[in-house]
Structure 1
Amino acid sequence: MHAKTDSEVTSLDASSSTRSPRRAVYYVQSPSHDGEKTTTSLHSTPVLSPMGSPPHSHSSSSRFSASRHRNNHNNKSWKGIDVIEEEGLLQSELDRQHSLSRRYYFLAFLLGFFLLFSLFSLILWCASRPMKPKILIKSIKFDHLRVQAGSDSSGVATDMITMNSTVKFTYRNTGTFFGVHVTSTPFDLSYSDIVIATGNLKKFYQSRKSQRLVSVAVMGNKIPLYGGGASLSSSTGVPTLPVPLNLTFVIRSRAYVLGRLVKPKYYKRVQCSINLDPKKINVPISLKHSCTYD
């Protein structure tokens, strides 16, 4: 082989350039040692043109892809955390709303129950009001009556009266679904506005739609009459003329319709005019037509 001249190299380069316009190939000369002769040979060592890719492009792309993968992974992780936090906040809000709803339902239930119970109690109260107890004073009997001279606690001389009597009346509970507890004010028997005898009713309970006969002892012991006793005194100690008396008291009834929540009260004021005939001692005196009821 003979060494190519510079003109041949140039011609070869021109022909190569003509055949491959898009990618040029360059050749460099490198010395070659053949025995003692030093020749110059051409080794076709291709050198990429600037249009080609650099040798390190593959590793750069790999690093870029890994970096983008890590960024995508990090973004997905943050997105996952955001989703979890958002789901936690949403669940917390739902729990709070559920708790508020239960409270509202409970309060609404209490309010509705209170309104219904109040309405029911009002109905019971209105239904029980017309069912007033009926009271009828039957008679009074004077067991003992005596007027005698004496003196009061301060030593003032005056006529004094002592008497024992018994008042009887019937009490009827007209309530169809409740019983009543009955009390009264003192039974006062008066003469000329002076209370000469008094009695107390013993408290009792009357069941529904029932009645009873009640007796009350009305007594007075040495009650001073002062100037009003002149017409009552006699040698025997018993009045000779009829004695006008007044009997007054108030019957109080309380019904427990619904325990102690619905308990209507009934009051009956009774006033009786009595004409005591000394000849009728120990004889019951009818009061059926001598009393008023308010």
Structure 2
Amino acid sequence: MHVKSDSEVTSLDASSPPRSPRRPLYYVQSPSQHDVEKMSYGSSPIGSPHHYHSSPIHHSRESSTTRFSASLKNPRNVTAWKKIHRDVNEEEDEDDVVAGGRSSGEVARFYVLCFIFSFVVLFTVFSLILWGASKPYKPKISIKSIVFESFNIQAGMDGSGVPTDMMSLNSTVKIWFRNPATFFGIHVTSTPLQLYYYQLKLAAGYMEKFYQSRKSQRMITVTVKGSQVPLYGGVSVVNGGEQDLKSMVVPLNLTFLVRSRAYVLGKLVRPKFYRNIRCAVTLQGNLLGKPISLLHSCDYQ
């Protein structure tokens, strides 16, 4: 029997077609010396020194390494890997943007609240300063004089038909008013000016409201009168004789309240000033038609 040489076997193996599927070969690129010593040597069918059969111990490691190398060598797998990596990065960026947006929104809201609170505090302090600065500028009021122009008592009846003495009185009161403030005007109103004989009201008058500009003054004239006021014995009966009328003396009280309001900062800062005035007046028959000074007869509260 003729024995074939190695060269003939090699040529026949190379030229003959494969008969059956062989076991898959696993390629390990550039193994280290330590790994080579641990591997089981085996001759490949074609006798190449670079082809090794992997041992069962390293089968799973080599297969995973081979699959990873193949996936890196395959362009489609690389593209898919890059896409997955890009999607993960985009999701992380979106999470960062959402977190950053929430944090920035909360910071902006905090600054807005701080600004509003600071503005309210500063505005309140400023208003209080203006209010305190306006307090020393109280309006100055002085009752100059009163003139009794007419006074008459006659018999009559009240509204219910009860007979009694009826009195008619007409007088004029002069009031001096001054606004000393340097940076605001004043709106002035008043309660009715009333003349009392003890608890009996004899006459009343109304002062019209007005506006007094800063650092200005004026003289106000108010008519205080009463017509057919029933006395019910409250005032001594005066006969119609001229001598008795001139000798008549009736103590009276003039009372009223002056209200002043300043608009320092629109309607937000509106200091108010009240002066309650009470004057002692003596009606003398011989002084009808003549002014009676009240400069030292009034009490201002």
Q: TM-score range by the shorter chain?
A: 0.7 to 0.9
Q: Give 1:236's aligned amino acid.
A: G
In the TM superposition, 1:5-84 aligns within 5 A as: 6=1, 9=2, 25=6, 45-46=12-13, 51-52=43-44, 66-68=70-72, 69=74, 70-84=76-90
Residue 172 of structure 1 is matched in structure 2 by 178
What is the CA-CA distance between 1:183 and the residue it aligns to?
0.4
Which of 117, 122, 127 aligns to 1:121? It is 127
Which of 123, 131, 137 aligns to 1:131? It is 137
Gapped regions of structure 2 (runs ≥ 5): 15-41, 52-62
Superposed CA offset, 1:182-232 (max 9, x none):
001110101131111000110001111111111110010001110212x14
What is the CA-CA distance between 1:62 and the residue it aligns to?
9.8
Where 1:226 maps in the other structure, the secondary structure is coil
Residue 216 of structure 1 is matched in structure 2 by 222
CA contact (8 A) 1:133 1:171 kept: yes
Gapped regions of structure 1 (runs ≥ 5): 1-5, 14-24, 29-42
Residue 241 of structure 2 is matched in structure 1 by 236
Choose between structure 1 and 2: higher strand proportion: 1
Residue 197 of structure 2 is matched in structure 1 by 191
Where 1:111 maps in the other structure, the secondary structure is helix
CA contact (8 A) 1:177 1:208 kept: yes
CA contact (8 A) 2:278 2:300 kept: yes
Superposed CA offset, 1:36-84 (max 9, x none):
xxxxxxx96358xx611579x9xx9999855453444433221110101
Which has the higher Rg, Structure 1 or Structure 2? 1
Q: TM-score, normalised by structure 1?
A: 0.79
- Which region of structure 1 is more displaced relative to structure 2, 81-90 or 61-70? 61-70
Which of 283, 288, 293 aligns to 2:295? It is 288
Residue 252 of structure 1 is matched in structure 2 by 259
CA contact (8 A) 1:181 1:255 kept: yes
- Which region of structure 1 is more displaced relative to structure 2, 176-185 or 69-78? 69-78
Where 1:254 maps in the other structure, the secondary structure is strand
What is the CA-CA distance between 1:127 and the residue it aligns to?
0.5
What is the CA-CA distance between 1:26 and the residue it aligns to?
8.0
CA distance in 2, matches of 1:223, 1:54: 147
**RMSD (Å), alpha carbons:** 2.8
Aligned length: 256
CA distance in 2, matches of 1:95, 1:112: 25
Where 2:255 maps in the other structure, the secondary structure is strand
Residue 274 of structure 2 is matched in structure 1 by 267
CA distance in 2, matches of 1:63, 1:100: 49
Identity of aligned residues (%): 47
Structure 1 segments of 4+ aligned residues over 6 angstroms from their partners:
60-64
Cα distance, 1:63–1:275 mapped onto 2, change above 3 Å: closer
